[in-house]
Each structure stands twice: as structure tokens, then as C-alpha cells.
A and B are shown apart, each in its own frame.
Chain A
Amino acid sequence: MKILVCISKTPDTTAKIAFTDNNRKFVTEGVQWILNPYDEWYALVRAIEIKEKDPSTALHLIMVGGADCDAVIRKALALGGDEAIRVNAEPRDSFYVASQIANVAKGAGYDLIFTGKETIDFNGASVGGMIAGLLELPFISLAARFDLSGNEATLIREIEGGEETVSVKLPLVIGCQKGMAEQRIPNMKGIMGARSKPLKVVEPVAAESFTEIVSFELPPVKKGVKLVPADNPEELVRLLHEEAKLI
């Protein structure tokens, strides 16, 4: 079994979101970078579980990004995985990133490619499906459970208002979300071991980008809360009915 896990870095979930340069750039000063939670908790941990069950599994991590990603990649390696590949390029857009990953994966014989459901900064929910499209593999998005029996995977995927159990032959690309695995904390052994694991840096191939971020904006600030006395919820109902006209 050969597995590729696509990981990305995002600002810590409590990071202050601010923009500079005429709202064209995200302010990175003081921002702590973390592994995208969907990639870490669900995609990577599930892949590690597969390797734990079958130690002959080769588990590779891949990130498209500059040298500033290496610290986060080491953190991922501290959780598990044999080696990491960093494609040395700024992620220009989803298609560009997917093209880089597909290029590395092409002909490399991966049985499973795990991605997160989406990044929590760009919220693209695109890279996984695009890798699948480029490699002409099936893509299961919003997977909440994954089981393997021989060459066949059984997955639970979320559909609106419920879930579906599906089966599909390997190889495939999976978008992982809650339910796939449980969050893990790296232990000392993992952290020490991560230092000596290979982190291969490869140069990008020429690839198109289809889109470009032009500017950012923050949502309008709230006017402030209108408080209603606790002994008078009727007043809240009146306000929602007459003022907000929502009920």
C-alpha cells in the first residue's frame, strides 16, 4: 500500500485576521501557522492508522509551498509518515496546487491520496477534486469514515441531511472530514524521529493558474447587541417579529 497525504498550512484558528497593502495582503506578522485541521486530524491520522495496521505501507506527505512551510511539515512528520515532499512554489491557486501534486503522484503508484475537506483559510474545497480530475481517479468528498478490504474501499460520505455508504476500487482521492479519525498529539519519540525523516524539496513544473485573489475585506462590524431583560423574553419575540421581521 502506498499513500499520499496532502497537507497545507493555515493560520492558527485564533489568529487575528487583518489585511494590508490596500487590502491585498493578509497580515502574517505574529501569526502562528498550523497544519490545516482537516488535513491533520482526519486525513493524516487516518493514513497513519492504516500504516499502523499494515507496517509495509509507504506513507508520504506532500505540501506545495515555500521554505517557510518546513516547520509545519516537521510537525506533521512528528505525528507519522515516512517522508515528506515539498514542492517549492507559492500556491498560486487551487488548480496550480492540484497540478503540482498530480505531477508528483502521476506514475508513482499511490493507492490512496488523502486530502482535507477544505483549508480553513481559503475554504476552497477544490484541490482534492482537482487532483482526482487530473489523475482521472474517483473522488470521494466529505468522507467521514474509511475502511479498506483488499483492493476495495468502503466509505461513509456526508450528503445533505444524511449519509451514504459507498464502495469504490483503489486508487482514489478522498476529502476527509470529522469522523475519519480522532485528533492525536505528537509524542516526544515522534518529534525526535521527525527530525531525521527525509523532507525532499522538488521544484515545481510549469502549470497554469485559473484564478487570482484581487483583494480581501472584513465583514461589516456589528452595531452592538440589544439586550432584553431575562424576565421578559416576550420582548425578544416582539423585536424579532416587528423589528427584525424574521419570525
Chain B
Amino acid sequence: MKRFLGITLGVLTAMGGFVDIGDIVANAQTGARFRMALAWAVVLGVVGICVFAEMAGRVAAVSQRPVFDLVRERLGAGVGLANLLASFFITFLTLTAEIAGVALALQLATDVHYLLWLPLCGLLVWLVIWRVRFESMERIFGLLGLVLIVLAVALWRLEPDWGGLVDSARHPAVPLGEGRPTYFYYAIALFGAAMTPYEVFFFSSGAVEERWSRRDLILNKANVFIGFPLGGMLSLALMGLTATVFAPVGIGPDHLSTVALPVSVALGKVGLALVIVGFFAATFGAALETGLSAGYTVSQYFGWPWGKRFAPREASRFHVVVLVSILVAVLFGLTAVDPIKVTEYSIVLSAAALPLTYVPILLVANDPDYMGDLVNRRLSNVLGTVYLVLLVLVALVTIPLMVVTKAGA
């Protein structure tokens, strides 16, 4: 059991990355519009995040250095600051969306409008960060998020045309009526969602919070290679669900309640209740992940004490950054900005900032001064380099594609 609980960091990180509010809707939409023709983008993203999260976790375990520490050191103060501004902005946008996502899940359960829930959700997120120990936090929300496995169960119960789904995944084609730019825009959205930078900020900082050392490298691998593929599997299950239920009738789900519909079709009220609990846990987990990451990035750039392993007063500036971020996020959310649009934008924008975060990880993972004999093996370097090239290409085409497709409309 203890061993099993050891991987909740990876599970929570992946949930926050793969099945947060924006992805829940983005995956559902791509399933309905493209069936499984974009499954490859999720798989590509899972492999990419595994490669870099494993490196980041290993660096953190061996040298106690989280990612943003490395960013400043390797990119220098100026470029590091540019990355900080971009990453912080993306993380903040996502935080706004996630807090609203928690409120949307509550609206689904209670029929009380989400804007009324929003301040309470913000307060709850802050309270957990302020008072709950890191390990307890990751266990509660990591395990609760596993309820989303109900998505896979629902897909199985629907007895979909498995052959057709697999076929559309293996021979991806742009469906009639959809433009090629739109197809690639969604591909980038899915890829970017899998590789959002706050996942490595949170994962590597979590490893330091939990005081991982060289002895925990197996734990690091288990977290990475179980957590992220699990997150990817859940997003594929969601895609499969909407491909089965919505694609044939041409409905595009653009709201959380529509996304939950196929589950209640398959599993009735119990399924619906479970999926709402799952949505709540996943968005809440993502809110914790992004809220903490806001504090982690700023503190690690400036070298301030950070983290939940100390009493809050020992990391005052860190906690102020977190508190102010949550507060502003709630206020921004209260302007009734569409949370789903916000995450979609932030994911695509983050695709443009990704190389600046992943380059320093790759550099330090190869530096024997830090890593001793635990530097990257050849496979990690080959994959890391291939992904960096890919990330740069994605970064270059992201913004133009966003403009051309009017953000996937």
C-alpha cells in the first residue's frame, strides 16, 4: 500500500495535466469532431512528458534542484525572466480556469450557478495549500481523481465499435468538413496539454518537497511511467466516449454537462455521480498544481525559501505569491470569462513557451557536476533532442495557426 501511495505525486501531476477542465472539454470536442483521428497527438504528448518528467524528477532527486532553479541558472537572469513571465502567465490563466472548473463541477452536482461557487472554491484551494501537508494533499486528490477511471468503464459498457475506433486512430485522416489547419490546431492543443510546463514545475518541486534522494530513482520512474500514461489513457477514453456517442449525430460538446452525458448514458446515475466526483477531484487537483506552481516558479527564480514542507511563515514570499495568484484568479473568474476558452488559449500559448523550459532540464540531466554517474542515457538524450526539435517547430507554428483557425472555431 505504501508503495502504491508513493506514486500519487505522478498521478496527481498527470491528472492536473491531462484531465483538467480544459482538457476534459478539448478531448471531448476532438472526439466528437475528429473521432480518434487525433489520438496520436495524445500518445506523442505522453511519451514527451514522460521523457522530460523522468529527467526533471531524477535531477530533483539527485541534486535537490527543481526545474525553475535550473531555468534561471542555465538560461541566465534575462532569458530566465522572460520564461518566468511567460510560464507564470500561462500557469495563472490555467489556475483561473481550474478554480472555475471546480465550481462548474459543483454546479453540475447542485444546480447552483458556478459563479456563486467560485469564491468558495478559491478559498478551499488556498486553505488546502496553506494547511494540508504535501503528502496528504497529493494522496487525497491523486486517489480521488482515479474515480475518473469511470470514463474507461463507461466506454467499455457502451460496447463501441472498437474496430472503427482503432482504425480511425491508426489511419488518421482529416474528416470531411474540417480544415487541415483546424486539425493541426487541435493536435497542438492536445500535445501542448500533455506537455504543459506546470507539470514539470510541480513534479520536480514535489520531489523536493518529499525529500527524494538517489534512493528514490525507482520511485521517480514508477511515478512517471504509471502516472502520465494513466492520464493519457483517461483522455483517450474520453475521446472514445464522445467519438461513439456524439460524432455520429454531429454534436460538439462544449460544456462540462454535455461531456458527462455519455457516462450517464452508459452507467446511469451512479456513473454520473462518479464522473462529477472525478471532475471535481481532477480540477481541484489541477488548481492545487497550478496554484503551487505559481509560487514555485517565482520563488525558485529569485532563490527564496519555498514549499509546503516548512511552516508558511518560513516561506512567506512563496505563500504571498500563491495567495495573491488565487485571489486574482478568482476575481478574473468572476468576470464570467469562459474558463474553457481560457485553458484552451493557455495550453496553446504554453506550446509556444515550452522549449525554454525543457532545454535547461536536458542540459542539467547531462551535467556530471550535478548528476555524477546518473547523467542521461543515450535513449533519453535521443528522445529529448527529438522532442526539443518538435517543440521548437510547434512553438513556431502555434500562434499563426491560432490566428488562421480563429482558435479552432
- A in complex with B: no
Interface residues of B (CB under 8 A from A): none
Q: Which residues from chain A sit less than 8 Å from chain B, CB to CB?
A: none
